[in-house]
Structures are given as C-alpha cells and as structure tokens.
Chains A and B, each alone.
Chain A
Amino acid sequence: MLRYVLSRLLTFLPTFLGVTLISFGFIRVLPGDPIIVMAGERGMSEERYQEMVVKLGFDKPVLQQYWDYLTGVLQGDLGESFVTKQPVWDEFFKLFPATLELSACAMIIAIALGLPAGVIAAVNRGKFFDRALMTSALIGYSMPIFWWALLLIIVFSGNLGWTPVSGRIDLLYYFDDVTGFMLIDSLLSGQEGAFKSAVRHLILPTIVLGTIPLAVIARQTRSAMLEVLGEDYIRTAKAKGLSPLRINGLHALRNALIPVVTVIGLSVGTLLAGAILTETIFSWPGIGKWMVDSIFRRDYPVVQGGLLMIAVIVMIVNLSVDMLYGVINPKIRKR
C-alpha cells in the first residue's frame, strides 16, 4: 500500500509544476493589458503607465517573472491582488470555506439521492421508475444552471416566499467568522434562529449546484449496477436464496462502486465550475465569483493563485479517490 501511495504522490509533482506553468501562461495569453483595464476610459499618461509597468514587475523578462512567481509559490506567497491590494492567499482562505460548504452539501445531496436512485433504476430496468428517473437525470444534466437557479428563485423565493433569495444567512444575524463555515459558525454564535437561517439559505444553491452531479451519479450507478447484476456470482447469490437487499446492496453495489467513485471524484471539478455561476446568482461569497471577476479585471496574481489552489484541491481529491480504489478493491493496490 505504501508503494502505491508513494507512486501516486510522485505523479503529483510534475502535475503541480505543469499547473503553475499553465496558470501563469493562461492569463498572459489572453489579450488585454491589466494596467489599461485598470485605468478604464480615463486612461493614463505614458509616464504613469511606465511607472505601473515597473511597479507590477512587467518590465522583467517573462521567464524571470515566472521564476519569481514559482519561488513565491514554493514559499507560500501567491502575491497581492492588483485590485484589492490584499494577499491572494488571505483572500482565498476567506472565501474558500463558503465554496467548500456549498460544494460539500451539493455533493452529499447528489450522492445521497443519486446512488439509491441509480440502484433502484437498475433493479427495475425498463420499468416506469427506471424510465422516469433516467429522463429526469437527462433533463437535470442538460439544464442551464443560470436558468434553473433563476426559476427556483422566482418560484420559491419570489412567489411562494418559502426560501430566502440569496446570501448565506439573514443579514440581521451578525457574528465573527470562526471557521468560515456558516452552519458551524451559526451554531457557535448561540444566536436564536441563526442555524435555521443558514440552513434555509443553503437549500436553493445546494439544489442548483447538486443537480448535475446528482444526474451523473444516478446514471453512472445505474449502468455500473446493470453490468454487475449480469455477473455469475450474482446469479449464484440469487440461487442461494439471499435477500434482494443483501444481493443488491452488498454484493452488487460494492462491485459497482469503482466507476461511481471515479465519477464522484471527477465531479469535484464540475462542482467548482458550477460554483462560478451558482455563487454569482445566489450572491454566495466563494471563490467562483472571485475568480471570474479577476479574469475580467486581468488581476494576474488572483487568477494564477486561484487556479493553482483549485488545481491542487482537484489533484488532492483525485489522489484520495485513487487511494479509495485500493480500499474498495484490494486487487488494485497490489498492481
């Protein structure tokens, strides 16, 4: 197992270097000079422009700039935002808990509903439930997030008044961040009704963000289950008279889990991409909206730092998924 872990960790290093190179290069390939974008219609004198070029380090050769960035990253310094003048690292950690909280809730809902839905659909293959579920999953997968979110807001918040429109908690509750996770902080605050308010604010964004992973997990579980259900050992189990719950829940599902876990791992990337739109619509103060703003403003340090951090998180999740394969299927770790 240790060798397996080490071999996975070794692949981490070149990927990390590649990500620094891509994140550094990506924003520079885009047309648009950050200094001119900053000045807007007002413009600035040539002399002032040159001052800014020196101040932001653009006068150095690109390789030197990359080297400075890389050495900074290795020392834990992601630079300062051109716009807010705040360290990128600080901004990331202020905003990331909000994204993590929302993504985790969306993922929990997606797994909690997607997995049983896929199993039930597979067991009832071709029947009404299967067809209804798979059609819903296809619709869920194809729905534009922006439209879906606005529809839910207009119906449930605007017309019915059941859920709040946006934000993380009712504005009348005010307490300092302890963990950055609103569910936990609202409990710690001890203020009456704060936790309930935080939960109510999570409902719509969780549904919106969880819709696509839910659809993907349900479909993947169904197809993996169908494959396993046709295997000889399942027929043997049936012949032995085991209960359907034991056959489907233990023998079939465990063997169907590998592709499902892969999909769940890959969904983390999808969640972070979906968070960009979901956060913008629900005024959710996470890293998605922060990244989009920084791209439009050509805020190089934020784009570089943010991309790098997101890539590292996705890499860590995928590494964990790789480890999990070994737990689910012992054969894999021996390879």
Chain B
Amino acid sequence: MKARFLMAAGALALSTSTAFASTLVYCSEGSPEGFDPALFTAGTTFDASSHPIYNRLLEFEIGTTNVIPGLAESVEASDDGLTYTFTLRQGVKFHSNDAFTPSRDFNAEDVIFSFERQRLDDHPYNKVSGGTWTYFTSMSMPDLVESVEKVDDYTVKFTLTHPEAPFVANMAMDFASILSAEYGEAMLAAGTPEALNTAPVGTGPFSFVAYQKDAVIRYQAHEAYWKDKAEIDNLIFAITPDASVRYQKLRAGECHVMPYPNPADIAAMKEDPSIIMMEQEGLNVGYLAYNTTMAPFDNPKVRRALNMAIDKQSIIDVVFQGSGQIAKNPIPPTMWGYNDAVQDDNYDPAAAKAALEAEGVTDLSMKIWAMPVQRPYNPNARRMAELLQADFAKVGVTVEIVTYEWGEYLSRSKAMDRDGAVLLGWTGDNGDPDNFLAVLLGCDGREASNRAQWCHQPFEDLIQKAKIVTDAGERTALYEEAQQVFKEQAPWATIAHSMVYMPMSTKVSGFKVHPLGGHIFYGVSVE
C-alpha cells in the first residue's frame, strides 16, 4: 500500500497541476495528539483520526447534527429506554497496513472491543497509551452503560443503568469510533499495543499512510470503503500553526482548504477571486455566568437588570469583528430545540439602572473574570470584559477585571463562593441540547461545569424529563420551555455565538462546514 502511494507521489511530483487533480492538501492548525480518538478530546485530533480513518455505529450527517446510520444499519430502543439494540452492517472492510492484514469483515467483536477497553479496568487495552478515556468519562458513560453484549455476529445490545435519550447522539461521537478487535489482538501479541494510537486501522473513507510529527499527515482513499470510494485519492494534512501563514499558503496554491482564518483577514479573503469563503454559525455559546448563590446576584431581577445594561452588538462588532451573532438562548440557533420565540433583554441602560435601584442595589462593585485564552466563542475575553466594564459603569456598577492562568481559571471559577461573574463558553459535542443545558446549567453541574452555581427546580425538572423521554417532539417542547425559564431567571448573560469561516480554493467542491466543528473530506473533490 505504501509502495503504491510512493509511486503515485513520485509520478505526480513531475507536474504539480496534475498532482492536485486527485490530491487535496488541508492546512491544518495543529498536530494531532495521536490517532486513537477515544484517548483524546481536541478537535484537531478528531480531524486527523476519527473523521478520515474511522466510522461509528451512528454518524452525524455531514453539515448537520442529525444522527444517521453508520456501521449500524439500525438501532432499536426498548420501551423502558434501558436497552438499545444495534443491527450491524455486513461486508464492511477494515484497512490494512505493513503489520496487519484483516482476515475478516467488521462484526460485533469490534464493537465490544471498542467500548469495553474504555469501560473495563481489567481490559488488556484499558491502560495502553495512558488510557485516560476522557470523553467517555466526561459523557458519564461509565455510570450509564451497564453492559455491552454480543447477541450474534451482527447484533449488539447496550444495557443502560437508567434511561437517557442523548445516548443515541453519544454513539455518533468521536470517542465511539470503532476499532478492529483483530488488529488489537495482533498488536498485543506483537508487544506493540500502542500501535492502535500510532498506526491506526479503521473502516473509514481514508486509510492512514504516514505521519511526520508536527509536519505532515498522509492518507489515501480506502478502496474497499463500504460507501462510495472517496473522490480524492490522496489526502494530505500540512500542519501550519500560524493563521497568516495558512492564508499565504492558500494564496500560493500550497493548500486547498484552511481552517480558522484570522478575523482581520476575512474581508480580504472574501474579495479574493481564487478563494471561496464558506461560513456557518458555530455550535457554541459565549456567556457571562453570575454566581447565583451570592448576593445580590442571587436575585434574578438584579441579573436581568445587568443583562439589560450589556450592549451586545458592540461586543459582536469589536470582539468578534462582525463574525458572530448575538446569543439570546444558552443553545445555538443551529441546534434542534432552539426556542426562537424567546425575547432577548433589550439594551436599555436607563431601565437597567432603574431596575437595579428598585431592588435596592446602588454603588455595586463586582468582579468580572476574563479568560486568558482565545476560544471560538470568545476570541478576546479581556476586550470583552473591558466592554462589559464600560457598559456596567453606565448603570453605576463598578467592575474590576480579574484573570488567572488557564488551569487556575478553570479550577477557581468552579468554587461555590467565587467572587464575581465569569466569562466562559461551550462548544457542543453531540448536537443534543442536553449537552448544553444539563452540563452547563443542571444542578449536578454545580461546583463543576455549571459556573453560575445555579439550581432552579422548575428548570431542572424540565431537563431531567427531556433526558428520559425518547420522543423527539416531546423533547423539543421540553427544551423550548426550559429556555423560557432560563431567560426569566437569567443565571447568565448570553453573549454570542461565533461564526465559523472556511476559506478554500475555488478548485474544491463538495465541502460542507460541519456544525460540530469537524473538518471532513469525504464527498469533497478537487479539480
């Protein structure tokens, strides 16, 4: 396989224009941590591993958050919501490499292997390559999954400890990628179990060819892919950490697609006739979380008054340089269950000041925490905090801006007695509203990911019920109502959802911006 790629590369090297006919070069923003997606949490790693190399039982339809069949042809939930039975696709081939040639097609053993290594402490692969399984645990899978059983070669049954509707979406997440049990056994026998992370074998549209650390990752199309073969023959990730340099490479024709442009370059890119700029709302939210356990922020009227003092449009213009939209709900508008009927707080400093005075709040001093890092949902937290400081000053509230090193920031901002409101945000994992509302605002999340330390029973009842029912319409109604309650109670000031921009060469067609943030090249072609 490697030799064939070599020959192709050598021949293609003679003519750059011919070479690009079937080779797509993606200027990625960083190096993957490894190639076993279950071990890691970074989007950069998933772009290089789970998307090209692997499949999951269920998949997110590219460009949407809809869950569609993947390696499972169908899934059936029991009436009590405690068991999910997956019927597996037949005739699915794994990749091969220098050290391994599969002797059989994908079957139930591979599903069992892929989950049990994350779930069972005594599994031979549980401790391999550090075995942290961070996503599996952060999605509460160890507590949720009671057993994974093989019914027959092409049927697998998952039994849960309690009903949980988002389980279906979890199965389409990167950590649920299916690895080859046979490859696992072979590598264990060869004494190189870590090969699963360094020389990956999957069923995905592209097979792994080589990785030169911090420089290049090479893949080639999987000839025996169970769907149509990928339109590009070779996929190359040219690792280019600097956004300005990525832009220059795109201009010079050294790459076809680049992620994360500098906001300052976007206008020039849109003018460039050789570049197509694709854009979509990101599945994220940036917010200011009050500490709802501390006076006077324990009073919803005070929180709403402060929200009225925030000029969100200025924040979008200055901090996001126009590449964002005002957030009125805690979930983004691209997500199902979004309640568009919710009215946002009007920007009205005079009314805000009057409302504060009506609650007896005068001469208020508070802290606003500004994150020390850039995130899509908040590209410049310090600047955002300064704008909030100016807005709050207009209603008589004095703000002191504080910041800490990122690890300290995450750790200290969880404290129940935290002094001040904290700027933070979230990017969705699985397109399910539960992944925002329960994680960030549920009672269990206090002193953890619920930075508002907010526990409001009517809201909690709604999101807990939505977790259990499996009917999509009923879940949507519950989440819509929960957003209404959230708005009335205002534990956060919802600030912005960022836009995602993907500049690419006009030679590229078929690319879809994925709302979950991944960069996927199956179905993409190059002239």
Contact = CB atoms under 8 A, between A and B. Distances in A.
Contact of B23 (A83, A84, A95, A172): A172
Contacts of A85: 34, 39, 129-130, 194, 197
Contacts of B238: 166-167, 171, 283
B141 interface: no
A186 to B, nearest CB: 11
A259 interface: no
Contacts of B293: none
Contact of A193 (B13, B244, B249, B425): B13
16 contacts: A31-B405, A33-B411, A36-B407, A39-B410, A42-B449, A85-B34, A94-B213, A153-B244, A157-B252, A161-B252, A166-B249, A171-B25, A172-B9, A172-B12, A285-B213, A286-B214
Interface residues of A, number: 60
Contacts of B129: 85
- What are the nearest 4 A-B pairs in CB distance? A32-B407, A285-B214, A285-B215, A85-B130
A83 B31 CA distance: 11
B346 interface: no
B9 A173 contact: yes
Contact of B252 (A41, A164, A175, A191): A164
A172 B15 CA distance: 10
B426 A31 contact: no
B448 A43 contact: yes
Contact of A150 (B5, B130, B244, B408): B244
Nearest to A172: B13
Nearest to B404: A31
B236 interface: yes
Contacts of A82: 130
B407 A157 contact: no
Given A33-B411, A166-B254, A283-B242, 5 more contacts: A33-B407, A41-B426, A91-B213, A173-B9, A285-B212
Interface string B1-42: 000011001101110100100010100000101100001010
Contacts of A164: 252, 254
Contacts of A172: 9, 12-13, 16, 19, 23
A81 B194 CA distance: 14
A80 B128 CA distance: 12
Contact of B5 (A45, A174, A191, A293): A174
Contacts of B5: 174
Interface in A250-291: 280-283, 285-286, 289-290
Contacts of A153: 244-245, 248
A144 interface: no
B181 to A, nearest CB: 21
A52 B134 CA distance: 11
A177 interface: yes
Nearest to A180: B212
Interface string A169-184: 0111111010000000
Contact of B407 (A95, A154, A167, A298): A298
B405 A44 contact: no
B9 A174 contact: yes
A305 to B, nearest CB: 15
A244 B348 CA distance: 83
Interface in A112-159: 150, 153-154, 157-158
A38 interface: yes
B214 A173 contact: no
Interface of A: 30-34, 36-45, 48, 52, 55, 80, 82-86, 91, 94-95, 98, 150, 153-154, 157-158, 161, 164-168, 170-175, 177, 191-194, 280-283, 285-286, 289-290, 293, 298
B12 to A, nearest CB: 6
Interface in B217-252: 218, 236, 238-242, 244-245, 248-249, 251-252
Among B138, B197, B198, B424: residue with most chain A CB under 10 A? B138
A275 to B, nearest CB: 13
A255 B41 CA distance: 59
B294 to A, nearest CB: 21
B414 interface: yes
Given A31-B407, A44-B138, A280 B10 contact: no
Contacts of B31: 293
Contacts of B462: none
Contact of A192 (B14, B23, B216, B251): B14
B49 to A, nearest CB: 12
Contacts of A158: 248, 251-252
Contacts of B426: 41
Contacts of A31: 404-405, 407-408
A247 B350 CA distance: 84
B132 interface: yes
B406 interface: yes
B405 A30 contact: yes
Among A80, A82, A84, A161: residue with most chain B CB under 10 A? A84
B464 interface: no
A158 B12 CA distance: 24
B427 to A, nearest CB: 8
A283 B406 contact: no
A192 B448 CA distance: 58
A32 B197 contact: no
A281 B242 contact: yes
Among A30, A36, A42, A98: residue with most chain B CB under 10 A? A42
Given A41-B449, A85-B39, A174-B5, A192 B13 contact: yes
A315 B518 CA distance: 45
Contacts of B134: 38-39, 42, 44
A42 B138 contact: yes
A83 B44 CA distance: 13
B404 A42 contact: no
A167 B132 CA distance: 32
Contacts of B197: 85
A280 B240 CA distance: 8
B183 to A, nearest CB: 18
Contacts of A174: 5-6, 9, 210, 218
Given A32-B405, A42-B138, A84 B33 contact: yes
B15 to A, nearest CB: 9
Among A83, A164, A170: residue with most chain B CB under 10 A? A83
A283 B252 contact: no
A45 B236 CA distance: 38
Contact of A43 (B130, B252, B414): B414
Nearest to A289: B214
Given A84-B34, A174-B6, A281-B245, A290 B251 contact: no
B241 A289 contact: yes
Contacts of A171: 25, 216, 236, 238, 254
A318 to B, nearest CB: 28
A158 B424 CA distance: 37
B137 interface: yes
Among B16, B25, B212, B405: residue with most chain A CB under 10 A? B212
A258 B241 CA distance: 40
